[in-house]
Amino acid sequence: MTEETLDEGMVFEESPRFGETQRPEDHVMVDVGRGGTVVRVNAGSEFVPTLERLADEYNYGGFYRVFLNGSEVLDPGDSPETIEAGMRIAITPYDKVG
């Protein structure tokens, strides 16, 4: 397993470690859509700035979609202020047509 520390307590993992004890109140796993890569983000982090930073770090070039608990967040103004325990978050590429 490869792991490296990113900004503000984020940790990169290729996949969760087998048998790892995780306390859901401490962090949330964000699927960044790059080959099954997930990033561990501290619960309580600001939602929009954290996801914007992840999208930038994973080279989405400003074209990406954010899903929260299975539903797409269409407007950053509609997103929660902070990342909370139990959230399911994913970033996927936005395919431009034309």
Write the burial class of residue 72 (CB in 10 Å: 0-12 exposed, 13-18 middle, 19+ buried). exposed
In this structure, are residues 9 and 44 in contact, taking their beta carbons and an 8 Å threshold?
Answer: no
Give phi and psi for 86, each to the nearest 5: 90, -10
Q: pTM of the entire structure? A: 0.71
**What is the 8-class DSSP label of residue 37?**
-
- Percent above pLDDT 90 for the chain: 54
Q: Is 40-98 CATH 3.30.70?
A: no
Average pLDDT over the chain reads 80
Domain boundaries, the chain: 40-98
